[in-house]
Amino acid sequence: MKETADERFKRIATLRTNAILDKIKVLGKLSNRQRYNYSDKDINKMFSAINRQLKEAKAKFEFDKERKFRL
């Protein structure tokens, strides 16, 4: 049986989302101050980069197809 585009999207999106969530959990382990030394600046820089990339990825899904060119 051939996989539909919807089924393929759901399968791949689930795999990729779970992989990202796992990496975020691993990143959270760096919060242990007994093992690691970091500043608020370091943390802000890390999460700013993550948030920027997340916004860029989300924007790709929100493109308004009805939008017309205007000057």
- Taking the C-alpha atoms of residue 45 and residue 23, their distance in angstroms, rounded to an integer, is 17
- Taking the C-alpha atoms of residue 13 and residue 16, their distance in angstroms, rounded to an integer, is 5
CA distances from 58 to 33, 61, 63 (A): 32, 5, 9
Asked if 30 contacts 36 with a C-beta cutoff of 8 angstroms, the reply is yes
Q: Hey, what are 38's tokens?
A: 């970091």
pLDDT in tens, 15-69: 999 999 999 999 999 999 999 999 999 999 999 999 999 999 998 888 766 667 7
